[in-house]
């Protein structure tokens, strides 16, 4: 007897299911590859960057002797400013290790504490002027070589000539650790200091403030301009060849490499308009150019999503075009517009290339105080640190990346929440 239809179907069935299974496995595999890449990225960054949030600190008995500090006249601000704070630290170190007497040994013990620690001592004395003339117990950041050794990044078994930390210093560190005078503490300097050539003195405060000021300019320019442009194109513009060309070009603009915007900023804003270089104001303007297409496109999508029936209802009641837009269309489209703006801001926050072109890559120690102070931004700070030779900058680079990622994830989470919260079904 010949095969019935159902026999043929059954024969092919296994093959069909196998194909489906293969396809599903392929899809699952692709997702897993992406997921694995993400996990690898996060694990390496967090693994490297974790140490940046801890810093070895040394406890010293500082003697704020007026003669050592050379502050003779207490009323003279300048003497406080230029006091010999290094001398105080050195004296305390000599006191702590009286057995180190030779010149070479003294040089080594001075290098236990960060060469920039005098800055902290000055700050402390400024805050507590009554300390003058007394002895105080103070924790000061250790030098980055000592810090790396304490964190276990240095192999003790290497010959001394291959190590940046010398045998004598290892003895000192061991002694300090034993007496509890050397501990890993939370690295507050990372969040309170600007950039520095000394890793243990370097912080992201300057970059964070720079990023904040830059984004402030970007947001306050790109959101109103973007929304107004989207409103005009969606609600008022006549549909003709000219608006078609504009629309195509906005979409093209969104795909332009960001460094081109940097070149534009350099050529136009710096050279033609003569704005000061490497300032948040200029950075914000350049990033505005970059985020505008994103905001316009998402705002138009949000406006398009407002059901025409609502507009018709308002028009049918005799509302004018402006009333329809401001009473009905904008409130309904606003969450979508804000979502687009936040995503645009997240993009701008992570942007490096255009800012390099306008000089925001400079080494800037001071925390910027205004829109026209020289500044750098977080991603550029990461770029700068990743280029630095000191071992301790590796973990600081990753630490700064962690901070940047935290901000980006938070911003995107807000965007998602906003979208979820105000999502409407019609």
Partner 1 sequence: MPSGKITSVTEQTNQLQTAPSTGETKLANRANDYSQTVGNIRVDSPKMSMSNVDVFYGDKQAIFDVSLDIAKNEVIAMIGPSGCGKSTFLRCLNRMNDTIDICRVSGKILLEHEDIYDAKLDVVPLRARVGIVFQKPNPFPKSIYDNVAYGPRIHGLATSKVELDEIVETSLKRAGLWNEAKDRLDQPGTGLSGGQQQRLCIARTIAVSPEVILMDEPCSALDPIATARIEELIDELRSNYTIAIVTHSMQQAARVSNRTAYFHLGYLVEVGKTNDIFTNPNHKLTEDYITGRFG
Q: What would the two tokens of residue 122 be?
A: 């000055």
Query: At 124, which helix (H) or strand (E)?
Result: helix 117-127
Residue 266 CA, chain-centre distance (Å), reads: 23
To partner 1, the closest distance from the beta carbon of 329 in angstroms equals 11
How far is it between the farthest Cα atoms of the chain? 119
309 binds partner 1 (CB under 8 A): yes
CB neighbourhood size of 101 (10 A): 9
Give the relative orientation of helices 378-386 and 205-231 as an angle to the nearest 10 degrees.
Answer: 140
To partner 1, the closest distance from the beta carbon of 360 in angstroms equals 44
- The Cα 358–Cα 381 span in angstroms is 15
Q: Which DSSP category does 142 fall into? A: B
Cβ closer to partner 1: 15 or 421? 421
317, 389, 421, 423: which one contacts partner 1 (CB under 8 A)?
Answer: 317
60, 332, 394, 411: which one contacts partner 1 (CB under 8 A)?
Answer: 332
Count Cβ atoms within 10 A of the Cβ of residue 86 and give its class: 0-12 exposed, 13-18 middle, 19 or more buried.
Answer: middle
Question: Which residue do the tokens 């303007």 mark?
Answer: 285
Three-class SS of residue 54? strand
Cβ closer to partner 1: 160 or 312? 312
Span from 75-83, 90-98, 138-146, 306-314 in contact with partner 1 (CB under 8 A)? 306-314
312 binds partner 1 (CB under 8 A): yes
To partner 1, the closest distance from the beta carbon of 236 in angstroms equals 12
Cβ closer to partner 1: 29 or 307? 307
- The Cα 112–Cα 419 span in angstroms is 53
323, 372, 388, 412: which one contacts partner 1 (CB under 8 A)?
Answer: 323
Query: At 58, which helix (H) or strand (E)?
Result: strand 54-63
111 binds partner 1 (CB under 8 A): no
318 binds partner 1 (CB under 8 A): yes
Q: Which DSSP category does 143 fall into? A: P
Span from 122-130, 294-302, 325-333, 381-389 in contact with partner 1 (CB under 8 A)? 325-333
Site string for partner 1, 256-295 (x = CB under 8 A): ----------------------------------------
239 binds partner 1 (CB under 8 A): yes
To partner 1, the closest distance from the beta carbon of 249 in angstroms equals 22
Span from 89-97, 125-133, 160-168, 313-321 in contact with partner 1 (CB under 8 A)? 313-321
152, 274, 316, 389: which one contacts partner 1 (CB under 8 A)?
Answer: 316
What are phi and psi for residue 85, nearest 5 degrees? Answer: -70, -30
319 binds partner 1 (CB under 8 A): yes
311 binds partner 1 (CB under 8 A): yes
Question: Which residue do the tokens 């996060």 mark?
Answer: 42
54, 111, 205, 328: which one contacts partner 1 (CB under 8 A)?
Answer: 328
327 binds partner 1 (CB under 8 A): yes
Three-class SS of residue 55? strand
To partner 1, the closest distance from the beta carbon of 292 in angstroms equals 26
Q: Degrees (nearest 5) of the Cα angle 68, 72, 73?
A: 150
Q: Which DSSP category does 203 fall into? A: -
307 binds partner 1 (CB under 8 A): yes
320 binds partner 1 (CB under 8 A): yes
To partner 1, the closest distance from the beta carbon of 239 in angstroms equals 6
Determine the number of helices (DSSP H) and then strands (DSSP E) in the chain. Answer: 19, 3
Contacts of 302 (CB under 8 A, 6+ apart): 230, 333, 334, 335, 336, 337, 339, 340
Span from 60-68, 309-317, 335-343, 344-352 in contact with partner 1 (CB under 8 A)? 309-317
CB contact at 8 A, 194 and 364: yes
- The Cα 392–Cα 383 span in angstroms is 15
| Interface residue list for partner 1 (CB under 8 A) | 238-239, 307-320, 323, 327-328, 332, 424
């Amino acid at each position: 007897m010949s095969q019935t239809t159902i026999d043929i179907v059954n024969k092919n069935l296994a093959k069909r299911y196998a194909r489906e299974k293969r396809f599903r496995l392929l899809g699952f595999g692709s997702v897993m590859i992406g997921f694995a890449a993400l996990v690898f990225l996060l694990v390496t960054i967090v693994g490297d960057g974790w140490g940046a949030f801890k810093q070895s600190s040394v406890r010293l008995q500082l003697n704020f002797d007026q003669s050592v500090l050379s502050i003779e006249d207490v009323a003279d601000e300048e003497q406080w400013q230029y006091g010999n704070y290094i001398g105080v630290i050195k004296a305390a170190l000599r006191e702590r290790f009286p057995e180190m007497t030779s010149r070479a040994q003294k040089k080594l013990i001075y290098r236990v504490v960060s060469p920039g620690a005098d800055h902290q001592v000055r700050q402390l004395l400024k805050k507590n002027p009554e300390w003058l003339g007394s002895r105080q117990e103070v924790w000061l950041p250790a030098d980055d070589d000592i810090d790396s050794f304490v964190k276990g990044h240095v192999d003790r078994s290497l010959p001394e000539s291959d190590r940046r930390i010398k045998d004598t210093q290892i003895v000192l560190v061991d002694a300090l650790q034993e007496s509890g005078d050397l501990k890993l503490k939370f690295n507050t300097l990372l969040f309170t200091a600007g950039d520095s050539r000394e890793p243990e003195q370097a912080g992201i405060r300057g970059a964070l403030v720079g990023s904040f000021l830059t984004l402030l300019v970007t947001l306050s320019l790109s959101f109103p301009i973007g929304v107004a442009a989207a409103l005009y194109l969606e609600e008022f513009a006549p549909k003709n060849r000219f608006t078609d060309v504009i629309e195509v070009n906005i979409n093209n603009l969104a795909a332009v490499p960001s460094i081109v915007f940097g070149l534009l900023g350099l050529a136009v804003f710096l050279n033609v308009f003569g704005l000061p270089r490497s300032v948040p104001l200029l950075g914000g303007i350049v990033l505005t150019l970059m985020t505008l297409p994103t905001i316009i496109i998402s705002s138009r999508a949000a406006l398009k999503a407002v059901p025409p029936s609502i507009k018709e209802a308002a028009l049918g009641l005799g509302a004018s075009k402006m009333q329809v837009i401001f009473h009905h269309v904008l409130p309904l489209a606003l969450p979508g517009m804000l979502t687009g703006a936040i995503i645009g801001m997240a993009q701008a926050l992570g942007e490096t290339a255009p800012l390099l072109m306008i000089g925001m890559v400079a080494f800037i120690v001071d925390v910027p105080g205004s829109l026209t102070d020289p500044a750098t931004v977080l991603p550029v700070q990461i770029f700068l640190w990743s280029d630095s030779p000191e071992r301790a900058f590796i973990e600081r680079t990753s630490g700064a990346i962690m901070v940047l990622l935290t901000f980006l994830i938070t911003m995107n989470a807000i965007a998602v929440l906003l979208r979820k919260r105000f999502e409407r079904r019609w």
